[in-house]
Amino acid sequence: MAGVIRRIFLTAIFFHVKYFADTAAQWNAALFKPASQSSPSNDSHLAAKFGNDGDKRDNSSRCVQTGFEEKPWWQVDLQKQFIVESIIFTASQTAFNKTINYVIEVHESPPNAAGPQAPICNTEYNVSNDLNHIKCRDPKKGRFVRFIQLTQGYLQFCELEVIVSGQTSYFKATKSLQVKAILAEVVLSRSLLHCAGQCKNHRALWLCNAFNWFTKSRGCEMLLTDPNDLNKTSHLTTADVNFYIENFG
């Protein structure tokens, strides 16, 4: 099946044929959403956007580091109100401090605006920087999630996932399209639904937010791709492959 790599405006050829919804699951709503931090790092390779780029590798070049300051923080705008259930924090093993104190706030409106105190998802003292899955004490409604280190220093980590419920997640399909993005993993799947479920599982090195589904061979190519950059992503027009990308209802 000869496909030709083309770089054209995907918007022109995207032909959305099918949606399927996943209402039961909880998923990461932070991926590729606008992120900011209290102050920049000296090193531009350690910018806020690397805190939710789906790349969990502790590679010092695609992680987050703030400046040295009192109570440094990192924040993501989920762009919609969600019910925040928990946070998955992937530490940087090269962090200066092996223990940190933190508080996680969930705001309905931008945190700088005057208003009531933000609901606290969770707060801990003297915890290991390896800390991983942090459940909110109670699910918290909000759009802006802020992770604040309570002590002076650098805030450092590699990925922060915001696990939400309360909104439908679905995969938007484009027929006869195979996108060439970061390959998180390739598996054979029982079904399209199984492939989608596999994508939603938390992956070790790269998260997955899209996949190529090979309709005949049942191959499931799990992908990590920035939806804002789909224009720039190489792709093939391939008869037996459909491309699916995650969206929120």
Ligand X SMILES: *[C@@H]1O[C@H](CO)[C@@H](O)[C@H](O)[C@H]1NC(C)=O
Contact call for residue 144 and ligand X (CB under 6 A)? no
Nearest-CB residue to ligand X? Answer: 153
The CB-of-183 to ligand X minimum distance in angstroms stands at: 14
- Residue 125 engages ligand X in binding (rule: CB under 6 A): yes
CB of 30 to ligand X, least distance (A): 20
- The phi and psi torsions of 198 (rounded to 5 degrees) equal -60, -40
User: Closer to ligand X at the Cβ: 112 or 126?
Assistant: 126
Residues between 203 and 232 with contacts to ligand X, criterion CB under 6 A: 230-231
List the end-to-end C-alpha distance of the chain, in Å, as a whole number. Answer: 35
Q: How far is the CB of 26 from ligand X (least distance, A)?
A: 27
Q: Tell which residue, 215, 217, 210, has the closest CA to residue 240.
A: 215
Using the rule CB under 6 A, give the single segment among 28-36, 150-158, 191-199, 235-243 that binds ligand X: 150-158
Q: How far is the CB of 166 from ligand X (least distance, A)?
A: 26
**Among positions 50, 154, 171, 214, the unique one binding ligand X when judged by CB under 6 A:** 154
Non-local CB neighbours of 240 within 8 Å, separated by 6+ positions? 1, 214, 215, 216, 217
Q: Are the C-beta atoms of residues 22 and 166 closer than 8 Å to each other? A: no
The answer to whether residue 96 forms part of the interface with ligand X (CB under 6 A) is: yes
Interacting residue with ligand X among 116, 126, 204, 216 (CB under 6 A): 126
* Token digits of residue 155: 């805030």
**Stretches 31-39, 109-117, 145-153, 164-172: which one binds ligand X (CB under 6 A)?**
145-153
CB of 109 to ligand X, least distance (A): 27
Length of the chain: 249
114: CB partners within 8 A, 6+ apart: none
Single residue of 11, 44, 112, 117 touching ligand X by CB under 6 A: 11
Residue 167 CA to residue 170 CA, distance in Å, equals: 10
- Residue pair 161/224 in contact (Cβ under 8 Å)? The answer is no
Residue whose CB is less far from ligand X, 94 or 168 = 94
State in angstroms the smallest separation of the CB of 126 from ligand X: 4
Cα gap 164→80, rounded to integer Å: 11
Which residues in the 51-70 window bind ligand X by CB under 6 A? 57, 59
Does residue 151 bind ligand X (CB under 6 A)?
yes
Q: Is 97 in the site for ligand X (CB under 6 A)?
A: yes
- Alpha-carbon distance of 75 to 31, in angstroms, equals 12
Place of tokens 């992503």: 233
Task: Count Cα atoms within 13 angstroms, Cβ side, for 125.
Answer: 0
**Could you list the residues that contact ligand X (CB under 6 A)?**
9, 11, 42, 57, 59, 96-97, 125-126, 151-154, 230-231
